[in-house]
Structure 1
Amino acid sequence: MIAPLLLLTLAVPTSLAANSTTANPTTPGDPVAATDLYGLGVRVGFYLQGFGASMLLFRPQKDSGRGIKLACGGVALSVIVAWTILAARGQLSPCEAFIGLWIVASVALPAQLTFFNPDSIVGEGVGLLISTVLQLWSLVAGLWMACDLVKTLPLLGTANVVFFFAKVSLLGWYRTLSIVLFSITLSYMIFWAWYMAKLGKVVMRCYLDGETEMTEKERKGVQFIPERLLPQVTSEQSTAAGAYVGTIGLISGLTSWVFCVVSVEKTIVWNNLQPSTDLSSPGQLIPFIVGATIALDGILFLCRPSKDGRSGPRARDGGWAAVPN
């Protein structure tokens, strides 16, 4: 299933490169990236996909997150593959490469958050693999950019500045900080890979046995936070705590999503980039409509009243945060 996905995403940049003959040499940035990587419909569509998928996560149900690894992970993986090919060909400026990575992060965020709910992994073998590959690929791409691309990619008329709570140059202290952070995170991936292997073992066992749920022993073994580190609470206390965990998770996820969006939009403005705004183009209209649909579905799902009359992240329908004592 992964082979067709990769073949499809690898084919996209090749066809886009043929359109680069329409470039305007007086416009900052690369015309291909301005249309197909961060055009208005493309990036807003990706923002909305990430936002809508996040909403689907924070209604605490037992199967919250199923399908999101594959959906968001597949979209983000296609973007990072296209980004890698454009970067390798030198068809991006450093600030456009920065924009591409933050767009990937805005879409990939929901897929990474699903790992807090171990029940969502059963039947998600392909999604689990895609999410793991995406995580590694994104970190390596970020380190590659900080170590090499910021110095070797052409400026293409841009100011070479990005957003990091303020306007900062891609060179200097920000580059050093990026190298340190990406290096530390990649070192942590050794433990993440071990955790992914544990999840993969459970997924494979359920697949071979035709099971749709893991055993209680397996669930305790793959909890993101080990049970021995959790306080002993009653079922009622666990239910109440779970509601607040959902609220905190929603706020944290939305904060990260907002940071991704602001980083992209500010970087576009500060570098005088002129992304495509033609929403009548299929390449802009399709991702925009898909994103709007997912966002609407996520909002309606989050706001739907539950049996106890509540709505939002505190509404409970047999939520995953509650663990019986």
Structure 2
Amino acid sequence: MAGSSIAAGDLYGAGVRVGIYLQGFGMLLPIFRSGTEHGRGLKIAAGCLTLSFLASWTLLASKKLFSPCEAYLILHILTSTSIPAFLAVHNPRTIVGEGIGLIVLMVTHLWLVGAFTWTCARLVYTLPLFDTANIVFFFGKTICLATLVWLRYVAELLIVAWLAFQHDQTELSDRDVKGLDVSDRLVKTWWALLWKFKALRPSVRAASEHERVVMRIRSSMGIATVEKTIKWNGLVPTTDLTSPGQLIPLVVGVTVAADGVAAWVSPRGRPSGGLERRIVS
């Protein structure tokens, strides 16, 4: 059997994958509605979930208990858990007062990008293959050693880390937002709100419409990467849904997805005028 039995059971088993996909789906649905309180508590919830998996991933990677392609696909699974939280940053009704959630989300993003960088720059050469073909999905079949995508993650890690310490501006103007890519814009927004709790400018909230499309594409690409990598390397994830490690995330995923569908079909709420004026002023 190809791959690590530990990772196949704990980090990308059938229950874990389906549960995380459903959680991401359930958390994304309310975000695509306007005039709602979406995103309240989502930043710290999604951030803590991702951090717990990242801690396990880092421990297994340091002990060389999975292959390079498994390390890569697990990180893509975790990406889908944090995407809804990134989008929730732009809801002006739920951002103020969630400083701890913003800190958790920023740490999660830095850790996740750092893990991708570590994988592509170092782990692909040092981790054992565990009888895998070492092939990953990157717009097609790609040898993990030859992806060269680690350059992107190095650049993103440096950008995010640098912007995290550039908190001289406490309010984001239209001029500040123009020319920034998604990661830059998000981190500048997080840091400004974290320190001074300033309101989101209308241009920043409008920019989130573009990010919703980008994040949906990233989520779809992440799922394709995971499933194709499992198939091409002959990996055998655990399918025993009676085990707690598979059943717990699956049940949580079904519950979150049901809640997201309920929020999607419910009538749209209208915010109070006073709150809206205080937020955008």
Q: TM-score, normalised by structure 2?
A: 0.83
Aligned pairs for 1:4-15 (under 5 A) are none
1:317: how far off? 5.5
1:134: how far off? 0.4
Within 1, Cα distance between the matches of 2:97 and 2:123? Answer: 38
Code of the residue aligned with 2:260 in structure 1: it is: G
Within 1, Cα distance between the matches of 2:208 and 2:50? Answer: 26
SS in 2 for 1:121: coil
Aligned pairs for 1:31-50 (under 5 A) are 31-50=5-24
RMSD of equivalent CA atoms: 2.7
Within 2, Cα distance between the matches of 1:249 and 1:133? Answer: 20
* Residues 317 and 256 (structure 1), Cα distance of their counterparts in 2 relative to 1, 3 Å cut: farther
Code of the residue aligned with 2:17 in structure 1: it is: R
Matched, 1:306 2:268: yes
1:245: how far off? 6.7
Within 2, Cα distance between the matches of 1:224 and 1:76? Answer: 30
SS in 2 for 1:168: strand
Within 2, Cα distance between the matches of 1:149 and 1:324? Answer: 46
1:200 match: 194
Matched, 1:219 2:211: no
Q: Percent identity?
A: 40
Counterpart among 75, 82, 86 of residue 112 in structure 1: 86
Matched, 1:90 2:84: no
Counterpart among 221, 244, 249 of residue 287 in structure 1: 249
1:121: how far off? 2.1
Matched, 1:74 2:45: no
1:120: how far off? 2.2
Code of the residue aligned with 1:53 in structure 2: it is: M
Aligned pairs for 1:119-134 (under 5 A) are 119-134=93-108
1:103 match: 77
1:268: how far off? 0.4
Counterpart among 141, 151, 156 of residue 185 in structure 1: 156
1:251: how far off? 4.2
1:253: how far off? 3.3
Within 2, Cα distance between the matches of 1:168 and 1:202? Answer: 45
Cα deviations by residue, 1:279-313 (Å, 9 ceiling, x for unpaired): 11111111001001101111221122337xxxxxx
Is contact 1:54-1:110 (8 Å) kept?
yes
Cα deviations by residue, 1:94-149 (Å, 9 ceiling, x for unpaired): 00000111011010111111222244222312211110100111111111111100
Gap runs ≥5 in structure 1 = 1-26, 204-217, 231-241, 308-315
Cα deviations by residue, 1:23-45 (Å, 9 ceiling, x for unpaired): xxxx1111110000000001110
1:256: how far off? 2.1
Counterpart among 143, 165, 180 of residue 117 in structure 2: 143
* Residues 224 and 259 (structure 1), Cα distance of their counterparts in 2 relative to 1, 3 Å cut: farther
1:202: how far off? 3.0
1:321: how far off? 10
Is contact 1:62-1:120 (8 Å) kept?
no
1:156 match: 130
Code of the residue aligned with 1:303 in structure 2: it is: V
1:169: how far off? 0.6
Is contact 1:118-1:224 (8 Å) kept?
no
1:260 match: 222
Q: TM-score, normalised by structure 1?
A: 0.72
2:181 match: none
Cα deviations by residue, 1:74-113 (Å, 9 ceiling, x for unpaired): 1111111110110010001000000111011010111111
Is contact 1:158-1:272 (8 Å) kept?
yes
Within 2, Cα distance between the matches of 1:137 and 1:306? Answer: 36
How many residues end up aligned between the 2 structures? 256
Within 2, Cα distance between the matches of 1:48 and 1:294? Answer: 7
SS in 2 for 1:278: coil
Is contact 1:60-1:321 (8 Å) kept?
no
Is contact 1:35-1:275 (8 Å) kept?
yes
